[in-house]
Amino acid sequence: MTTHADPDAARLVTDLEAQERELVLPSLTHDDAWRLGCLLVGLARERDLPVVVDVRRGTQQLFHAARPGTVADNDTWVARKVRVVERFGASSYLVGQRARAKGTTFAEQHGLHVQEYAAHGGAFPLRVGGAGVVGVVTVSGLPQAEDHALVVEALRLFLARD
């Protein structure tokens, strides 16, 4: 069921696209993935957030941690969000908001099974300058905008420390 284009989503799309241009890594080594994952877990621990944190390079999972309050279903959400980033080369939140901005849903727009793909906030492409998208960092456990915001905050801190 298609609805009217959403101007709030259109503005959000612009902001999310700017984040993706901003948050480009110099590299993504195993150690980088470990440091980024630990940074995210540290933020979650400080705030007592019930999240799963996952960092991948290509198809290899380099970091995975589950905080208290999470369940196995969070891992399923991680996998579904990661598939969106891998397929579309953009954050899972951005992909979902692009559909919303056009007055439709991700499922209607792409015809992909919701059991396999989740265009909800929390998975963010890990871009390396000159190499493009090489991995994905994901948070699952909070409302989608908060999952996304936590990842963006961590990436900004990670880049500021390098």
Give me the CATH number covering residue 29: 3.30.450.150
Give the domain range for residue 11.
7-161
First CA to last CA across the chain, in angstroms?
46
1 has a pLDDT exceeding 60? no
Q: What average pLDDT does this structure show over 115-144?
A: 97
pLDDT at 2: 47
State both tokens at 82: 């990661």
pLDDT value of position 4? 72
148 and 121 in contact (C-beta within 8 Å)?
yes
Contacts of 26 (CB under 8 A, 6+ apart): 128, 129, 162
Residues 78-129 have pLDDT tens digits of 999 999 999 999 999 999 999 999 999 999 999 999 999 999 999 999 999 9
Which tokens in the block code for residue 148?
């996304």
Report the pLDDT value the prediction gives residue 3, as an integer from 0 to 100: 59
- For residue 126, being part of any structural domain is answered with yes
pTM, rounded to two decimals: 0.94
User: What is the number of structural domains in the chain?
Assistant: 1
139 found inside a domain? yes
Question: Among the residues of 61-136, which ranges form H helices?
Answer: 72-88, 92-101, 106-110
Q: Which of 43, 84, 85 is nearest to 65 (CA)?
A: 43
**Of all residues in the chain, what percent carry a pLDDT higher than 90?**
93
Beta bridge pairs of residue 135:
57, 126
In a domain, 1, yes or no: no
